[in-house]
Amino acid sequence: MASESDTAPDDTPGEVLNPIDMADGFAVPGFDAVARLAAHSLRVPVVSLVLATGSAYWFSDDARSPHSPQALHPLYLEAARHGETQVVPDTNADERFGGVPLLTDLRTASMRFFASEPVYTLSGQHVGALCVMDYAPRDGLSEKEHDDLRDAAELAGTGLVLGSYLGRTDPVTQLPHRNAFFEDLRARQRSGAHRAWLIAIDVAPVSRFNAFIRAMGHAYADELMRDVAARIQVWMPEHTHLYQVGIHRFAAVLPDSPHAVDGAQMDELVHRLRQPFDCLGIPLTIQPGVGLLNLEVGELDGGDPLRLVMSATHAAQDSVRGWSVYEPAHDEQHRQEFFLVTELAAALNDRTELELHYQPRVELASGRCVAVEALARWRHPTLGAIPPGRFIPLAEQAGLMRTLTEWVLDHAIAQLGAWQRAGLALKLSLNVSSSDLGSELVERLRSAARRHDVALDALELEFTESTLLEHSDTTREHLAAIRALGIGIAIDDFGTGYSNLASLRQMPATSLKIDQSFVRAMEASRHDGAIVRAMTELARELGFRVVVEGVETAQIYAAVCGMACDEVQGFHIARPMPAGELPGWLALRDAAVG
């Protein structure tokens, strides 16, 4: 049988090394089987698994043997806390014992022979020792017996890891995990507590944490989590336990307090976490989010406080301060986003709710429309029109952007082919996200153009300024391959990123679109007018075709006409329109300009 030692002496020597915190009464899976094998192969009556924490599990094949000694002899703890094999042929002849028996109770004689083998987890962490004992002294262990003891210790380590997963402890950080968090929170509920402040810490957004793993490997991510946990624990109030409740998330129940959250303390925690980590010799800065939830403990029944506090950590990651208190509005927003993502996936599969609108681009010199920009629109059957500024970011986050881009490419190029066959000479501009800018994009474009009998030089792809500056060497290779097809490349939203002259010169772009936020502000601010004028002149000097978007009034149009600008786009020219309306608008435009 197996049981856990109730107590350990307070004055035992040795330092606790990375303890595994076992709950009372929790048995190590498979320990009985391991102990029976060790007892049989080594011909010993007593086997014990002793952890570095002082916890111990006992097995005996003899009813005389004690199962739960009141105190552990220092030799057990020395074996558990130091990763060395020990063999004591006769404890009576070893001066370290000083006449103190190794193991006694009222029914048995003391143990005379003792041997131990270190126990490690699968990741190589030393957590204790497997000990075997006999009533009679021995000469030692044979080579085969040494091998058998090592095999048994390895199996015991595997059982400890399994116990960690099934019980309360995370195997990487050795912190109690989510099950333990809820067990302890329910214990607080049973003790009569009515409210509690929960805190959760997200180490980084999911995409960024996955990038850590892709770039550095799981061992680096594991070490990072241990380092973050250690830094949080230095900050935590006394007698507060930290739990690992997700792959990259920690949580704790803060001490009872009638006051609101101390903002200065939260600022201090965020400041600590934003300092660079020297992880395995490689410095790294994380993007933490600290969320707080004032929980009514009675809501535990049927509720999920971790889900609620997670919405606060998500909001915190996007804030300057880095911490946030849960607000129901955040939670509702996340629910709506999840709903929209699932609906968007269905819309992309069904493809009856999505459509394309086209916004003209007019050449200043001639006044004629020379290009149109294809813009995705989504009309939900019950929610109505969903703004692109809402569903496009969701498509990016949910991994749906490639499917959406594929749909846009196919339908827009098909429409361009139909217009060309009807005699309309237009260029088509398509927005492409950073997730689409890869080597396969060239073949996707070539295939769509071939399918709809459209010349590739009638296409232009718009990339945001920030996209073009990501991974510059690889990006330039992909852009060069696109340009080799004859397709134009536009730098969209120029002025909102961090371009420098060197990077602009190296990009194989053909046109540059001045961001509309500057253009719209021109009427109210002469400074913004000066910025737009300077950017158009710079772009012209660098050899780009200059497009000014956001031209929404006659005054802005007149101002732009005096700048180094080639094309304009905006509501003053035309709003985005369905494909069927464009031929009529073009006819009116051509008639107006003669």
Per-residue pLDDT tens over the stretch 148-200: 999 999 998 888 766 665 566 777 787 888 888 887 888 777 777 778 888 99
Name 243's bridge partners: 251
Task: With beta carbons less than 8 A apart as the criterion, state whether 7 and 68 touch.
Answer: no
Of the candidates 400, 405, 384, the one whose C-alpha atom is nearest the C-alpha of residue 342 is: 400
How far apart CA 319 and CA 266 sit, in angstroms, is: 13
pLDDT digits (tens, 9 = 90+) for 270-285: 999 999 988 888 888 8
Question: Cα 399 vs. chain centroid, distance in angstroms?
Answer: 14
The dihedrals phi and psi of 47, each to the nearest 5 degrees, come to -130, 140
R_g of the chain, CA atoms, integer Å: 34
Count of residues in the chain: 594
What's the mean per-residue pLDDT of the chain?
Answer: 82
**Backbone CA torsion sign across 164, 169, 170, 172:** negative
Of the candidates 230, 251, 243, the one whose C-alpha atom is nearest the C-alpha of residue 310 is: 251
Which helix H or strand E contains 282, and what residues bound it?
strand 282-284
Q: What confidence score (pLDDT) does residue 12 get?
A: 30
Whether 409 shows a pLDDT value over 70: the answer reads yes
Band (20; pLDDT cuts 50, 70, 90):
very low
Question: Cα 552 vs. chain centroid, distance in angstroms?
Answer: 40
Q: Which residue has the higher pLDDT, 39 or 318?
A: 39
Ramachandran assignment for 118, one of left (phi > 0), alpha (psi -120 to 50 degrees), beta (any other): beta
What residues have CB less than 8 Å from 44, skipping those under 6 apart? 38, 113, 132, 133, 134
Residue type (1 letter), 428: L
Taking the chain, what is the end-to-end CA distance rounded to the nearest angstrom? 99
Band (377; pLDDT cuts 50, 70, 90):
very high
Q: What confidence score (pLDDT) does residue 469 get?
A: 63
- The answer to which of 46-55, 294-303, 306-315, 551-560 has the lowest mean pLDDT is 294-303
Q: What confidence score (pLDDT) does residue 103 get?
A: 63
Q: Boundaries of CATH 3.30.450.40 in the chain?
A: 31-166
HEC profile for 307-320?
A: HHHHHHHHHHHCCC
Q: What is the pTM of this model?
A: 0.57
pLDDT digits (tens, 9 = 90+) for 487-542: 999 988 776 654 555 667 677 889 999 888 888 888 777 888 888 899 899 888 88
CATH no. for 178-326: 3.30.70.270
Q: Which residue has the higher pLDDT, 300 or 5?
A: 300
Q: What confidence score (pLDDT) does residue 138 get?
A: 93
Which residue shows structure tokens 């210790």?
Answer: 153
Hey, what are 570's tokens? Answer: 């905006």
Which residue shows structure tokens 């073949």?
Answer: 443
Which helix H or strand E contains 354, and what residues bound it?
strand 354-363
Task: With beta carbons less than 8 A apart as the criterion, state whether 59 and 48 touch.
Answer: yes
Query: C-alpha distances in angstroms, 353 versus 246, 356, 376, 386, 391?
Result: 37, 10, 11, 11, 13
Task: Give the three-class secondary structure for 380.
Answer: strand
Q: What share of the chain is helix, strand, coil (3-state, %, to 5)?
A: 45, 20, 35
Given CATH 3.20.20.450, say whether it is the number of domain 354-377+399-593. Answer: yes
**Backbone CA torsion sign across 392, 393, 398, 401:** positive
Whether 64 shows a pLDDT value over 70: the answer reads no
Q: Which residue has the higher pLDDT, 449 or 71?
A: 449
Half-sphere exposure of 545 (CA within 13 A, CB side): 18
Read off the pLDDT of each residue in 212-234 and give the average, rounded to a whole number. 87
Q: What confidence score (pLDDT) does residue 495 get?
A: 63
Residue type (1 letter), 400: L
Which residue shows structure tokens 């769509």?
Answer: 448
Hey, what are 5's tokens? Answer: 């030692």
Q: Boundaries of CATH 3.20.20.450 in the chain?
A: 354-377+399-593
Highest mean pLDDT among 252-256, 292-296, 356-360, 509-513: 356-360
Residue type (1 letter), 157: G
The dihedrals phi and psi of 179, each to the nearest 5 degrees, come to -60, -45
Hey, what are 340's tokens? Answer: 């929209």
How far apart CA 15 and CA 474 sit, in angstroms, is: 51
- The answer to which of 49-63, 342-356, 528-542, 551-565 has the lowest mean pLDDT is 49-63
Which residue shows structure tokens 């130091």?
Answer: 82
Hey, what are 549's tokens? Answer: 């978007």
Q: What confidence score (pLDDT) does residue 231 get?
A: 93
The superfamily (CATH) of domain 31-166 is GAF domain (3.30.450.40)
- Burial environment of residue 525 by CB neighbours within 10 A (0 to 12, 13 to 18, 19 or more): exposed
Q: Which residue has the higher pLDDT, 257 or 431?
A: 431
Exposed e or buried b for every residue in 492-514, given b needs 16+ CB within 10 A? bbbbeeebeeeebeebbbbbbbb
Whether 23 shows a pLDDT value over 50: the answer reads no
Hey, what are 546's tokens? Answer: 């200059």
- The answer to which of 41-50, 338-347, 576-585 has the lowest mean pLDDT is 338-347
Whether 591 shows a pLDDT value over 60: the answer reads yes
Share of the chain above pLDDT 70, in %: 85
Q: Boundaries of CATH 3.30.70.270 in the chain?
A: 178-326
- The answer to which of 16-30, 294-308, 373-387, 488-502 has the lowest mean pLDDT is 16-30
